[in-house]
Amino acid sequence: MDAMHAVAVTQSLPITDPDVFVDVDLPVPSPGPLDLLVEIEAISLNPIDVKLRRKAGTPDEPLVLGFDAAGVVRAVGERVSDFQVGDSVWFSGQSNRPGCYAQYTLVDSRIAARRPASLSAAEAAAMPLTSITAWEGLHDHLRIGAHDSLLMIGGAGGVGSMVIQLARLATDGDVVATSSREVSRAWCRDMGATAVIDHRNDLAQELHEVGVNGVETVFSAYTVGREAELAQLMRPFGRLVMIDGTDSFDMTAFKPKSLSVTSESMFARPIFGTADVAEQGRILARVADLVDEGRLRTTVAHQLQGLTVDNIVEGTALVESGRMVGKIVVTA
């Protein structure tokens, strides 16, 4: 087991360029003290992959992306005690280490967990990054209460799909999602949204029409340019968490109501080595239990067979289209 196949980026190119991804052979990595060496069974594609590819330039070494995976542990680091060879695991990993578009990858054992026994590898691979993002956003940032209402801006995507499900477990209040197409509206309802509104229209009016007069919490995947509109529909002392990047944010409309605004990046804990980095492993373990209890479901919507350049290109093009519901999975 000296070499492995991977699909990598060697230069930043548009998805339509025939050389946007290339096949490479790389050494199989050796686990550090806290690492797991995982043989990949399935991966999922995410917008972060697109973002990192676009800003990669011409990397010194082939850049392996991919931050959602399910696989089998093939070796463990000397300080690992919670896992053993043969364990079936799932994880997201961290964006400053080589990713999982490969036969094997390394992951810090503290941010991995045993995957749900009731799911296939493909079904499991769709969930880690979005589950952690949704959990941290709902519980660490929004501190969602048992009776709080929530508005999810962009409910049909991977993160939105998990936010809806987890919010329904956390609160008996309204969980409203936004979408614009009928296929995405149906998906949001299937995930458990109590109401679905059209984000192309005035959101406060849309909420009023479904009987919701303001919300305590907002989880937003599309925040830029909506600041005043979102502040209008939030109740005093409400909380907003956003996952989209922005160069500027206008707080003017938030101050009169004492509204709180935070941003969520699920890579913060592993990249900065926070004291509670193992919380991500615990989140995934809890999510696995909820799946096996039948309280959460996978969000895989599109599946491709084989870790090939063609499949990575096809899946990435779907991600870049912005019209996907759920998640795209590629199996090994």
Chain mean position to CA 316: 15
pLDDT of the residue at 1: 65
Give the domain-ending residue among 263, 278, 313.
263
Q: What's the number of domains the chain is made of?
A: 2
Model pTM above 0.75: yes
Q: Do β-strands 35-45 and 327-331 pair in parallel, antiparallel, or remain unpaired?
A: antiparallel
Task: Give the per-residue pLDDT at 323.
Answer: 84
Locus of tokens 């944010």:
249
How far is residue 90's CA from residue 254's CA, in Å, rounded to a whole number? 38
User: Residue 227 is part of which domain span?
Assistant: 130-263
Instruction: Let me know whether 51 and 169 are in one domain.
Output: no
Q: Would you state the pLDDT for residue 248?
A: 84
3-state secondary structure of 329: strand
Residue 321 belongs to domain with CATH number: 3.90.180.10
Based on the domain organization, do 250 and 183 belong to the same domain? yes
Which residue among 232, 263, 294 closes a domain? 263
* Rounded distance between C-alpha atoms, residue 255 and residue 237, angstroms: 10
**One pLDDT digit (tens) per residue for the chain, 332 residues:** 689 999 999 999 999 999 999 999 999 999 999 999 999 999 999 999 999 999 999 999 999 999 999 999 999 999 999 999 999 999 999 999 999 999 999 999 999 999 999 999 999 999 999 999 999 999 999 999 999 999 999 999 999 999 999 999 999 999 999 998 999 999 999 999 999 999 999 999 999 999 999 999 999 999 988 999 999 999 999 999 999 977 788 899 999 999 999 999 999 999 999 999 999 999 999 999 999 999 999 999 999 999 999 999 999 999 999 888 999 999 99
Cα Rg for the chain, rounded, in angstroms?
20
| Same domain as 217, residue 106 | no
Residues 6+ apart with CB under 8 A from 208: none
Query: Same domain for 182 and 121?
Result: no
My answer on whether 88 and 174 are in the same domain is no
Q: What is the CATH number of the domain that holds 145?
A: 3.40.50.720
